[in-house]
Structure 1
Amino acid sequence: MIQVRIAGTAGVVPGPLLSTAELARRALPNTPPADVEAKTGISTRAWAPKGALMSDVGAEALRGALDRAGLEPRDLRRILFVTSTGGDALIPTTSSAIIATLGLRGTCDGFDLSNSCMGFLSALDTGARAVATGLFPVGIVVVEMLSRHLVPEQHRPYMVLGDGAAAVVLTQGAAGEGIVGASFGTDRTLGNTVHLGHPCVTGEPEHLQFLASNRELTEIGVSTLVRAAKAAVEPSGARLEDIEWVVPHQPNGSMLDKMIAALGVDPSRAVPLVEELGSIGAASIPMSLDRLLRTRPVRPGDRVLMAGIGAGVSYGAMLYQVA
């Protein structure tokens, strides 16, 4: 076990909600919006206003998580910033902008981390290990503004992706509290499923594309997520169906349903967000975790299984026990 406490969480919806019907009229004018909504399992999503900064939204989320943890920004020793699309600038890091926004000067360090939709779990693993070596509290900030990279002509990502932000604060855990199992992997042989090129390489504007079919994405996503989940739970001696709470990545409504079914857990143990917020990349798991801890009767001794997949193909799971 890595003794660590999830001391505070917060989620931020960084813009107004847009309906599937509104976007379908732009991207799929010959398809009934109700058919699109039924296929994706998404009714609304938030898109951040043009010019919004990830650092501002991230700082807002982190302040909320710190408030819930009973801490001040000056208490932080490290900030990890996570996004799938490179932050507000390539240089300097967005974590440094968040540190500046919080008014911190030399009291903590920060760096950016990217692993597509797996970014939060990678950061959680990195942050937990920092706590284990005595460097804490750690703030993890996840901001996705995927709407910046969408065009109606690429209708599949246009119809499912949304924006979201979340933050988690980690501190030292009590006895019996922390990460009791984890499993991570990357397998590019599974295919280049999702792609966003770099305009400095291609010399032209780049937009997010789904390169695999819906069936391929579902097959890869469900199989790798279940494999990682089983590997993360196995060391504890528990069975998947016995885990109290499950927080999987949520690419779309139908894939979420298939993931829950493949894990063999009661759907009431999950906290769906995708119908309301769409597919929000690396922010999916921490936003769902925040809602779980705020709205469900999570008790001492309960276990929370977080599992995700990302382009690359990266995948992983972590089993967290509450004290």
Structure 2
Amino acid sequence: MTDVRILGTGAYVPERIVSNDEVAAAAGVDDAWITGKTGIRERRWAADGQATSDLAVAAGRAALRSAGITADELSVIVVATSTPDRPQPPTAAYVQQELGAGGAAAFDVNAVCSGMVFGLSAAEGVLTRSGGHALVIGADLYSRILNPADRRTVILFGDGAGAVVLGSSVYHGPRIRHLALHSFGDLSGLIEVPAGGSRLPVDGTVLDAGLQYFTMDGRGVRNFVGDQLPQLVKGFLHDCGVVPDDIDHFVPHQANGTMLDSVFADLELPRATMHRTVTHYANTGAASIPITLDAAARSGAFTPGDLVLLAGFGGGMSAGLALVEW
């Protein structure tokens, strides 16, 4: 198997800044309540004319510039999203068209907030067998599927996209050493959009009941993350042949700031720096890991040889882990 390297990173968030005060009134809370519960102070929401593919294209272009390659050099484009432009075709098809990457296979992955790590795994599988370059994008636009009166969800989410360009080991760059994917279908009801698919198409009754909106059992999600993530990380590091002391950086899904603090303590990574963007961008779904990775990389936080642990967790329920040697 050929090593796969990260050749560049990129990110994009919409221009519109949405404060806690703006989402608080309809949800029946205030800024202090949101900050105390989540650590979030603001988020970005897309403009009326923007779709998920627009965010993905902007992040993809930034990653291509960082990698120093052009779109026509791509052999595969993977878009991880749970908020596609349309049920069909894949959002990646629009991204391929807009980037001018006509030679690339383009498809979507939906593992909700774990989607970026699932997308990395899919792209790695292609590159280790056929070579070339892959563009993996995590992009979500949750503001369109949030119930403004639901304080459990509307306060948590923002819109954005992040991307990485991957290449084989003939290139220099951070090496993806190991990946692991997990799904827990018996817990699929914890996070869902009830309507809009083949089981419950959207009609007037559905709209009246608000079933087109994103829903989440917050307590159930916290219990899942608290119960599962520490043991999954422990097993993953063992499989990688490293110990917790070896990890220099932790880049988790930016679900909720207070949850991240609790989870990070439970992971017992004594030397690791946890990187966060949740305060200003909130939870951007599949975009949160690549947005945060890009921010850390561009700040100069990583040095050659550092071990970076990526951890996604979210709907499905699902979890995805990646170990990157910078």
Letter of the structure 2 residue corresponding to residue 42 of structure 1: I
Structure 1 residue 35 corresponds to structure 2 residue 33: yes
1:245 maps to: 249
In the TM superposition, residue 26 of structure 1 has moved relative to its aligned partner by 2.1
In the TM superposition, residue 176 of structure 1 has moved relative to its aligned partner by 10
Structure 2 residue corresponding to 1:184, chosen from 181, 191, 201: 181
Structure 2 residue corresponding to 1:130, chosen from 101, 116, 126: 126
CA contact (8 A) 1:14 1:46 kept: yes
Structure 2 residue corresponding to 1:216, chosen from 208, 213, 220: 220
Structure 1 residue 120 corresponds to structure 2 residue 120: no
Number of aligned residue pairs: give it.
316
In the TM superposition, residue 215 of structure 1 has moved relative to its aligned partner by 3.4
Q: TM-score, normalised by structure 2?
A: 0.91
Q: Percent identity?
A: 31
- Match of 1:71, SS state, is coil
Relative distance call for 1:296 and 1:226 in structure 2 (3 A) is farther
CA contact (8 A) 1:2 1:129 kept: no
Counterpart CA distance in 2 for 1:109 and 1:161 is 30
Where structure 2 has 5 or more consecutive residues not aligned to the other structure, the ranges are: none
Counterpart CA distance in 2 for 1:177 and 1:69 is 12
Relative distance call for 1:199 and 1:226 in structure 2 (3 A) is same
In the TM superposition, residue 2 of structure 1 has moved relative to its aligned partner by 5.6
Structure 1 residue 299 corresponds to structure 2 residue 310: no
CA contact (8 A) 1:2 1:179 kept: no
Structure 1 residue 16 corresponds to structure 2 residue 16: yes
- Matched ranges for 1:1-323 at <5 A: 3-28=3-28, 31-85=29-83, 87-105=84-102, 107-173=103-169, 178-190=175-187, 192-199=189-196, 201-202=200-201, 203=203, 204-205=206-207, 206-210=212-216, 212=217, 214-266=218-270, 269-322=273-326
In the TM superposition, residue 51 of structure 1 has moved relative to its aligned partner by 2.6
- Match of 1:6, SS state, is strand
CA contact (8 A) 2:56 2:137 kept: yes
Where structure 1 has 5 or more consecutive residues not aligned to the other structure, the ranges are: none
CA contact (8 A) 2:55 2:160 kept: no
In the TM superposition, residue 253 of structure 1 has moved relative to its aligned partner by 0.8
In the TM superposition, residue 178 of structure 1 has moved relative to its aligned partner by 2.5
Counterpart CA distance in 1 for 2:139 and 2:226 is 24
Counterpart CA distance in 2 for 1:279 and 1:313 is 16
